[in-house]
Structure 1
Amino acid sequence: MTSTQVVADTVARLVGDAVTAPSMHNAQPWRFVFRPDSGVLELRGDPERAMERTDPDHRALHLGCAAALFNLRVSAAWHGLGARVGLLPDGSDPWLLAGVVFGTPAGEDRELAALHGALRRRHTSRHPFTDEPVPAPLLDGLCAAARLEGCRLTLPDRWHTEAVLSLVRDAEHHEEMDPSARAETAAWTTGGRGAAPAPRDDGIPAAAFGPRSAGPASVRDFGRAHPDPDRGWAVFEEHPQLALLGTADDTAADWLRAGQALERVLLQATADGLATSMTSQPLEWPELRWAVRDPLVSLGHVQMVLRLGYGPAGAATPRRPVTEVLELG
């Protein structure tokens, strides 16, 4: 099948799968433009959904858009299409993040298609995980998944895990002391019982906050902005299984590779029966981000901290309709 034979309704189905990707505060900072004449599907960043205080260089925005790009590749493979991707195809247009042309599937697409069943089962879990360790073969498989996208996933030892958790607490303190950062988080969350009705198709609803932690935890507490009297308390795992996703360099192209690697790891983890969450707080503050790196491992630049384990899958968060994010050019 040539790219010109990919019709608009097929593209809409692919985009419908793409937008199940995670993004910072579930802002969904992506736009898709399909050019029927050339058969190119453009992935564009949406500056109106950027976090100007905590993501001023749009690194997290690139990661979220790239996670959607990986989902698009998975969906294309599952539909029997190959997807040829060009990153940052126009240097004069920084919001044009990728161009995708569909065609004959390649051999690697079978591995992508196998992840399709995890697309809508992957949710961020802000609940405690059990103490059951993640088997080494599963962790090795996740590291291999990151390598397939040109990135590296490392597993910090107990000492460095404690250092990262300390940085998470430092980042929470930074946000508490920064009114702009607090306002930004509050703008993308919705309160629980007693709050004014605010139906929306983005952001973090109260159902996805998870319980309040009775002690230190590696998950962001979105409920601080919208206290909910019905929200319970829980003790989170004392020694969480963290993983650091990194790249050698820290350019926009690296961020796009990292976002695809992130989603590949998350989908593989979901397919393996693991629950996952992401911890980006210390990466949002330049004075803390450098310290997240393991000094004993040559990782380069940490792009995301992941938490892996066994526990509740987490609640689904809303998604904008395809008609809102897809344009026919």
Structure 2
Amino acid sequence: MSVRQLDTRTVTALVADATAAPSMHNAQPWRFRYLSDAHTLELYADLSRAMHRTDPGDRALHIGCGAALFNLRVAAAHAGLTCAVRLLPDPADPQLLASVHLTPAATAPDDTDDLRALYPAIARRHTSRHPFEERDVPEDVRAALAAEAAREGAELLFAGTWHTEAVLELVRDAESRDALDAAAAEDLARWTRRGPDAGTAVDGVPEYAFGPRPRDGRSAMRDFAGRRPVAGRGGAAFERHPHLALLSTHGDTPADWLLAGQALERVLLRATDAGLATSLTSHPLERGDLRMLARDPVSGRGDVQMVLRLGHGPSGPATPRRPVTEVLEITQRVREV
């Protein structure tokens, strides 16, 4: 493909693709700043969208921003551009999560073709809160997804039968605790969109994306309706043996969380490309005592950052996104670091 020039239209398109990434409660906790003189996009945490009750350390916020960063890398490769990424480039400004220097690709880096191949999956990847088929994920696909995570410095471990049951118990425990925790309910209420608000939302999880209510209360995902009724929402039996995978990193710092986000999105895009439906849950990881229990004590290593559910089923509806004009600032001033 022909190399695009680094004009406003191209930068806007790159950011639009970046913001298609998943984030906790679809809060979209990011903003971008393009320094045109330096051909550099800066990724910032938008702390006005942080969840201080359920994500007090901003771990999930960083993971969402890391996923957006990976989409940006994929979109840049698709556009014929190379990215030089620096994570947390300014110790004096912890809200600056990454700087991405963009240049036309005279010589394509080794991973350009792999990144470019993932580009169509950005628009097709949606979180599915619907039942999946009782059908196995082929071993070669599992191996390929684990390899994708490893390319970003993370580990993807598919849970065995007993481990899956243990994680499901942690999800139910988290649900029960939230039902008694007014602070957690506030975060959930802030980011769910119901009734007329669902059709005009630009963020959060609208009721049309809640999926059916599990008939037996058995699901690997958070129920965004909680105990609130939703008109027209039916129930369904979810798979008895969900395929869960745990994404872990070797450390548990903001840099590790950004790496986890990039690995997460790489895995999700590859899974989408392989015809799998996906959903995520951080619910059993939001409380320190439950998060420690999520790790497989036999083969698990590192810190669990996300639980993925994969399988064969409907892809789920697209959730809304904020206009790029709300998240992107373009300036000529070169930032001194």
Q: TM-score range by the shorter chain?
A: over 0.9
CA distance in 1, matches of 2:67, 2:144: 19
CA distance in 2, matches of 1:144, 1:274: 16
User: How far, CA to CA, are the matches of 1:317 and 1:86 in structure 2?
Assistant: 29
**Other-structure match for 2:148:** 145
Name the CA shift for 1:196/1:259 in 2 (closer, same or farther; >3 Å). closer
Report the Cα distance in structure 1 between the residues aligned to 2:223 and 2:197, rounded to whole angstroms. Answer: 20
Q: Is the 8 A contact 1:189 1:226 kept in 2?
A: no
Q: Residue 130 of structure 2 corresponds to which residue in structure 1?
A: 127
In the TM superposition, residue 200 of structure 1 has moved relative to its aligned partner by 2.0
C-alpha contact 1:126 1:219 (8 A) present in aligned 2: yes
Counterpart for residue 292 of structure 1: 294
Q: Deviations over 1:208-230 (max 9, x none)?
A: 00000012110111112642130
1:86-118 CA-partner distances (Å, limit 9, x unpaired): 000001101000000112231211100000000
Is 1:278 matched up with 2:275? no
Q: Equivalent residue for 1:88?
A: 88
Who is 1:312 aligned against? 314
Unaligned runs of 5+ in 1: none
Residue-by-residue CA offset, 1:12-71 (whole Å, 9 max, x unaligned): 110010000000000000000000111110000000000110001000000000100000
Aligned to 2:28: 28
CA contact (8 A) 2:279 2:310 kept: yes
Give identity over the alignment, percent: 56
RMSD: 1.5
Equivalent AA in structure 2 for residue 228 of structure 1: V
1:261 corresponds in structure 2 to 263
Find the aligned partners of 1:197 and 1:290 in 2 and give their Cα distance. Answer: 35
Pairing 1:108-127 to 2, within 5 Å after superposition: 108-127=111-130
1:5 offset after TM fit, Å? 5.4
Alignment of 1:173-252 (within 5 A): 173-192=176-195, 199-215=200-216, 216-224=218-226, 226-252=228-254
Task: Classify 1:89/1:196 alpha carbon distance in 2 versus 1 (closer, same or farther; 3 Å).
Answer: closer
Compared with structure 1, are the counterparts of its residues 74 and 183 closer, same or farther at alpha carbon in structure 2 (3 Å cutoff)?
A: same
SS of aligned partner of 1:222: coil
Counterpart in the other structure of 2:16: 16
Contact between 2:198 and 2:207, CA under 8 Å: does it hold in 1? Answer: no
Decide whether the 8 Å contact of 1:191 with 1:226 is kept in 2: no
Q: Hey, what does 1:325 align to over in structure 2? A: 327
Residue 289 of structure 1: CA displacement? 0.5
- Would the aligned equivalents of 2:198 and 2:206 in 1 still touch at CA under 8 Å? no
Q: 2:214 is aligned with what amino acid?
A: S
Runs of 4+, deviation exceeding 3 Å: 195-198
For structure 2, the residue ranges without an aligned partner over 5 or more in a row are 332-337
Do the aligned partners of 1:186 and 1:226 also contact (CA within 8 Å) in 2? no
SS of the residue 1:119 aligns to = helix
Kept in 1, the 8 Å contact 2:251–2:303? The answer is: yes
Q: Contact between 1:149 and 1:261, CA under 8 Å: does it hold in 2?
A: yes
CA distance in 1, matches of 2:54, 2:289: 12
Q: TM-score, normalised by structure 2?
A: 0.94
CA distance in 2, matches of 1:11, 1:303: 30
Q: Deviations over 1:226-268 (max 9, x none)?
A: 4213000000011100000000110010000000000000000
Q: Take 1:198 and 1:311, find their aligned partners in 2: how far apart are those partners?
A: 24
